Every structure is written in C-alpha cells, then in structure tokens.
Amino acid sequence: MPHASAVMTIMINAARKAAKGLRRDFGETEALQISKKGAADFVSKADLRAEQAIFEELSKGRPKYGFVMEERGEIEGVDNSNRWVVDPLDGTTNFLHGLPHFAISIALERDRVPYAGVVYNPATDELFWAEKGEGAFVNDRRLRVSNRKDLDSSLFATGLPFKGKEGRALALKEADRVLANTAGIRRFGSAALDLAFVAAGRYDAYWERGLNNWDVAAGIVLVREAGGLVTEINGDSRPSHNGSILAANAEIYEAAKRILNEEN
C-alpha cells in the first residue's frame, strides 16, 4: 500500500475495525425473514455497533477532535478546527437485503472543509482513501477519474427518493434529461460508493439531492484528489453542507451541470 499519513492510518484502522462486525452481521441478513420492525431493529444495532467501534478508534487516535455521526449527532471537541464525519453504514437497504454494496464512510473536516476520506466496502474489501494534496487510492492502486469528453458515452449515477422522502418529481425530471443525453444511469443505493466510483473512473458523473454531510464528505475528497470536480448541483461550493451534489470529470462537468439545471 502507498504510504499513508498518521491521520489516514487512524481512519483506515477505524474502518477496518468496524468492518469486522458488519461482515458478521451481513452474514446474518439471509436469516432475516422477520417483521419490518425486527429487520429495522437488526440494522439499527449493526449501525450502532459499527459506529461505536469507529468512535472508540478515532477518539483513541485523536482525542481532541469533535464528531458528526449519523446516529449520535454532533459531539463538540476541544479542537475546533478538526472533526470527524462518520456514516457507519451507508447503503442500509442493500445491507438488509443481502446485497454486497454498502460502505463505511469516514471523513476528516478541517475548518468545515473535507480534508481526508475513507470509504470502505467490507463485502468486497475495497478500501478507497484520499488526503488533500496526496492523491486518491483504492487499496494500493492510484485512482483517476475517467477522461470521457462526450455525454453520449458517459455513465451517470444517482439516488432516487423512496417512499416518504421528498423530491421524487424533480429527481425523475432530472433523470429523464440525463437519460436522453447519456449512455445511462445507475442507481446502486450508496452515495459514498457512488462518489468512490466516480473517483475510480467507473462512473463519469454522479448527482443527488437531499443528502447529509456524512453521506458525501469522504467521497468529495476522493473525487477531488482523483482529478474530478465536485460542487452543488447549481455550481455552488459547499456540497457537503447544503444537501445537493454533482461530481464529474472535468471534461463533462459543465455539460452535466447544464442538463441538470435546465428546468430547475
């Protein structure tokens, strides 16, 4: 593996520690022929166990840093500049259905800007990691975004609002415009992995609305360090804090932004 800094090593170790429990719990999902309440409760416990493992490992490595965690919320630290942003299980529905497409997402923010990120899929053992100015990697291989220059051959990814979430009509309008101009759309159910796949050149672009900081903070670092562009869908500069995101290679970014904003 390429040399990882001290802080990156802490993040990677935290992700791997949490992954042990998620792998064990994932192996039990086939037996979840139980009520909705029971299934949700099972996933909630898996979430909490993974988050606890990450919290302990990161706290041990950097005890003064604060946290923003999906389950626990915000925990202030003595160090006001640095805080961890954690999603212990991104892709919960996939996890519950036995689909091996879910991830642990850990980011380090410095002055509320994503600085380093780890996205780890325990089911496939793919570890995506990046630190500002140091490049992006999957396991020991350097990552670069794709170099496709035309929309016709570009593959996009997105997330679509499910029952109980707002924004379905707008998401479908955007998807229709993208489908009319590209090679297709994939909807795999994990924002963290969608961004990691843009960094790896597997997708040429990804967009979504209604996201939380912990969904995207780590992935933003991955894409930027792999040579891609990441903004809000309208082009503004705080995708990790304002809920919408567009990530793409530099060649198609402007065209992607134009399509997504045509009627919005």
Looking at the predicted structure, is the pLDDT value of residue 40 above 60?
A: no
Looking at the predicted structure, is the pLDDT value of residue 206 above 50?
A: yes
pLDDT cut 90: percent of the chain above it: 80
Looking at the predicted structure, is the pLDDT value of residue 213 above 60?
A: yes
Angle of CA points 109, 239, 184, to nearest 5°: 125
Name the most confidently modeled range: 38-42, 46-50, 114-118. 114-118
Looking at the predicted structure, is the pLDDT value of residue 263 above 80?
A: no
Looking at the predicted structure, is the pLDDT value of residue 224 above 90?
A: yes
What's the mean pLDDT in 258-263? 91
**Model confidence at 35, in pLDDT bands (50, 70, 90)?**
very low
Average model confidence (pLDDT) for the chain? Answer: 93
Fold of 151-260: D-Maltodextrin-Binding Protein; domain 2 (3.40.190)
The span from the first CA to the last CA of the chain, in angstroms, equals: 44
**Taking a C-beta distance cutoff of 8 angstroms, is the pair 43, 90 a contact?**
no
pLDDT at 175: 97
Q: Which tens digit of pLDDT belongs to each residue from 165-186?
A: 889 999 999 999 999 999 999 9
Q: Are strands 136-138 and 141-142 parallel, antiparallel or unpaired?
A: antiparallel
Domain 6-142 has CATH 3.30.540.10: yes
Task: Tell me which of 42 and 103 has the higher pLDDT.
Answer: 103
Q: Which tens digit of pLDDT belongs to each residue from 58-96?
A: 999 999 999 999 888 999 999 989 999 999 999 988 988
Alpha carbon distances (Å) from 120 to 16, 130, 131, 188: 8, 12, 15, 15
pLDDT at 29: 67
**Model confidence at 243, in pLDDT bands (50, 70, 90)?**
confident
CA atoms 210, 92, 105, 50: torsion sign:
positive
> Which residues neighbour 135 within 8 Å (Cβ) at sequence distance 6 or greater?
2, 142, 143, 225, 226
**Model confidence at 133, in pLDDT bands (50, 70, 90)?**
very high
pLDDT at 30: 58
Residues of the chain with CATH 3.40.190.80: 151-260
Residues of the chain with CATH 3.30.540.10: 6-142
